Each structure stands twice: as C-alpha cells, then as structure tokens.
C-alpha cells in the first residue's frame, strides 16, 4: 500500500552483529520506499558496529550503554545491572521525546530496553526474530508485542501463534539480482573461468575452524583443479596469506573481507559457510549448493538449528565444526564430482527463499500503525 503523504515516526532498535543490522537497514529502506516522508530513528548499543553501519546507510542512531553478560565472572559483569537501568532510563526518554507510532526490535542488546519502554507506554511493538531459535529477551517481549515476524516455520514453539507472521529475513538488495553477473564476478576476483569456484565465507571476523579446514584442504583442492575464493575474516587474514604464499599455490585467493558479495555469489559453484541467520537467508536466495559448518560458540547452538531447517529439506549439507578439518576436503570433492546432487541442492534451497521479506514486514508494520 503506497501512501507517500502519510508521515510516521518509527524506531528500529537492536544490532551487535551484521545479522541484526543488515535486516534492520533493509526494513528501514523498504518502509521509506512506501513512506518517504517518515522519520526512522535507530537505537543501538554504544561501541557496537551499528553505530558505524547505520549512519553509513543514511539513518540517525542513538546509543545505549547496554552490554551483555560475560559467561565467566568478570568485573564488567558487576556493572551489568547499572548499565541495564541506565539503558532503560535512556530508552524511556527517547520514547517520550521521539513519540514513535511503532517500535521494531531486530534482536541484539539494545532491543530489550527500547521495546520494554515502548510496551510500558502502550506503543505497538514488532519483533523481527531472524533465527530458528528464539532468544530469552524476545520470548519475554513477545507477551506484549503486537506482531512477531519470523524467518522459519514452527516458531509457535516460542511465540503466541496468533501474533506470528512468516516473512523470512530481509537481505541486501544486490543479492536478489545475480542474473548475468557470473562473468563479471570471475573477472573482478581474477578467477579462471574453466575451473570450479569454491566460495568460503565465515563472517566479517572470520571462522577459525573453516579457515583451518581450508588450510588443510587447499593443496588437494588445487590438485583437483578447483579454485577457492576465501573470505578469511580480519583476525586470520595475515596468517592465511602467508601460508598460501609459502605453499606456492596459484588458485587460492584469500580476502580479508568481500564487499561485493553479489559478485562473489555469482562467481561461485558452491559455498562453504557458517549458518548465522543472515548467511542462511542470503544463501537460500543465491541458490547455490551449500555446506554449512555451524559455529558451536553461539547461544543454544542456534546455528545448528538454522542449518538443520535446510538440511532436513535436502536443501543443504551439514558438516560439524568438530569434523570439519578432517572431512571438508572429501565432502567438497564428492559434491563437485556430482552435478546431479548440486542441481538438487540448488533447486531445494531456492524453494525455501523469501525474496520479498522486507516488504512483507512493512505490510505487517502498516497494519500496526493504522
């Protein structure tokens, strides 16, 4: 429903990781497409990446002093209750001054205090849950939320069924259009068009196990005529570059961070990836064969649950983190030698994609502000 003359004030709160921030920005952009006169204010956590990424996308952001509890005893944990109270007070003030028509929470530390303050004032709130497992904060906030947008079926295990909207996760727009980009992608990354391309992505910081498994497998990959486009992440880049250089391999291409993800996806014949919510949603739209290596270092092992939602539909392969170093090479080789399997995985994962997620969330938001 396009109605550009209406002006609404919307708060979008949360962040902490790209998996929360990119969907939040996609929702804001989709809302502004329908309502260009609206004011959208973001609220994030001080010193987290949203404080940089949101202004880069052209939106104002306010920071709260909120932080998470460390799993082991630290001095930071002693200040946790004070940070929560301080954040709640600041959130109440923001809600009072901005007086939003609707507050959207996308997960991450800042989401809790802002939605709690809005609900206390009777302002409608919408939760966007990206994972197949709901975190504690969202489960608590769901009781008073007006709507909950989810990316996976079966979320009535965690939320009231009547409030759930199965919309999928919003992703960056450039990933929706990969048609005709393969040649451009191969050229951009200096890849050989005659060799299969393995794309490895472990998130912006990198995934240690995936990197170690690739170091173990790279000579075998090159010997079999494959090439690897490899996002190592910031922490591991220098070490990987040195090892690739010392090995004398010519078709292994480490990158600290890949900005042009649409070109990387277009160039790839198969993908090795962690199974964070955003990666999984992007890869379903990309429609390439995927091996998920879920991170074991996340709350409630939710990356395994995200991956299993696809593996159970024969839409992806799963490789346990503990088995990756030993089994990545044979698993990749088996997949690349089996065109039929590649085709089946591609078709199945595409069927689980939700290309219009951002607009579907906007339609739910419209029902709440009217």
pLDDT by 10s per residue, the chain, length 370 = 455 678 999 999 998 887 889 899 999 999 999 999 999 999 999 988 999 999 999 999 999 988 765 556 667 667 767 778 888 999 999 999 999 999 999 998 899 999 999 999 999 999 999 999 888 889 999 999 999 999 998 999 999 999 999 999 998 888 888 989 999 999 999 999 999 999 999 866 679 999 999 999 999 999 999 999 999 998 999 999 999 999 999 999 999 999 899 999 999 999 999 999 989 999 999 999 999 999 998 878 889 999 999 999 999 999 999 999 999 999 999 999 999 999 999 999 999 999 999 999 999 999 999 8
Q: Which are the contacts of 135, defined by CB distance < 8 A and separation ≥ 6?
A: 107, 299, 300
Annotated binding-site residue numbers: 17-19, 131, 172, 204, 258, 277-282, 303
Q: Indicate the pTM of the whole model.
A: 0.87
Residues in the chain: 370
Strands 9-13 and 102-105: what pairing? parallel
Q: Are residues 362 and 342 in the same domain?
A: no
User: Which pLDDT value is given to residue 74?
Assistant: 67
Q: Are residues 228 and 188 in the same domain?
A: yes
Annotated binding-site residue numbers for UDP-N-acetyl-alpha-D-glucosamine: 17-19, 131, 172, 204, 258, 277-282, 303
Alpha-carbon span 261 to 225, nearest angstrom: 23
Strands 252-255 and 147-150: what pairing? unpaired
Q: Which domain holds residue 54?
A: 9-169+355-369
User: Which pLDDT value is given to residue 298?
Assistant: 84
Total domains in the chain come to: 2
User: Which pLDDT value is given to residue 143?
Assistant: 95
User: Which pLDDT value is given to residue 18?
Assistant: 77
CB atoms < 10 A from the CB of 323, how many? 14
What distance, in Å, lies between the first and last C-alpha atoms of the chain? 12
**Is 70 inside any structural domain?**
yes
Distance of CA 165 to the CA centre of its chain: 19
Alpha-carbon span 309 to 304, nearest angstrom: 9
Q: Are residues 162 and 205 in the same domain?
A: no
User: Which pLDDT value is given to residue 66?
Assistant: 83
Q: What's the CATH number where 225 sits?
A: 3.40.50.2000
Q: Are residues 42 and 142 in the same domain?
A: yes
Both structure tokens of 325 = 């170093």
Both structure tokens of 158 = 């965690």
User: Which pLDDT value is given to residue 109?
Assistant: 86
């Amino acid at each position: 429903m396009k109605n550009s003359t209406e002006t609404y004030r919307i708060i979008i709160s949360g962040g902490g990781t790209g998996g929360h921030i990119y969907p939040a920005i996609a929702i804001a952009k989709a809302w502004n497409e329908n309502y260009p006169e609206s004011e959208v204010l973001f609220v994030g956590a001080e010193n987290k990446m949203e404080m940089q990424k949101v202004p880069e996308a052209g939106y104002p952001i306010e920071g709260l002093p909120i932080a998470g509890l460390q799993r082991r005893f630290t001095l930071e944990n002693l200040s946790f209750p004070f940070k929560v109270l301080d954040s709640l007070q600041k959130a109440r003030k923001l809600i009072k001054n901005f007086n939003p028509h609707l507050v959207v929470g996308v997960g991450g530390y800042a989401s809790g205090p802002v939605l709690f303050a809005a609900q206390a004032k009777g302002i409608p709130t919408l939760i966007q849950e990206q994972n197949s497992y709901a975190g504690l904060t969202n489960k608590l906030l769901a009781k008073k939320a007006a709507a909950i947008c989810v990316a996976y079926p079966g979320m009535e295990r965690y939320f009231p069924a009547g409030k759930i909207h199965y919309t999928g996760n919003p992703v960056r727009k450039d990933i929706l259009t990969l048609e005709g980009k393969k040649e451009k992608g191969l050229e951009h990354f200096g890849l050989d068009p005659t060799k299969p391309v393995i794309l490895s992505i472990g998130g912006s910081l990198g995934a240690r196990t995936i990197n170690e498994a690739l170091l173990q497998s790279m000579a075998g990959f090159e010997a079999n005529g494959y090439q690897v486009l490899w996002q190592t992440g910031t922490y591991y880049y220098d070490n990987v570059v040195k090892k690739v250089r010392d090995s004398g391999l010519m078709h292994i291409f480490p990158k600290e961070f890949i900005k042009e993800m649409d070109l990387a996806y277009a160039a790839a014949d198969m993908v090795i990836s962690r199974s964070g919510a955003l990666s999984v949603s992007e890869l379903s739209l990309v429609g390439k064969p995927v091996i998920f290596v879920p991170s074991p270092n996340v709350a409630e092992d939710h990356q395994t649950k995200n991956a299993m939602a696809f593996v159970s539909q024969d839409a992806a392969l799963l490789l346990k983190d503990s088995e990756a170093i030993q089994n990545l090479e044979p698993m990749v080789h088996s997949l690349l030698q089996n065109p039929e399997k590649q085709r089946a995985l591609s078709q199945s994962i595409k069927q689980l994609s939700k290309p219009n997620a951002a607009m579907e969330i906007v339609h739910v938001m419209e029902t709440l502000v009217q």
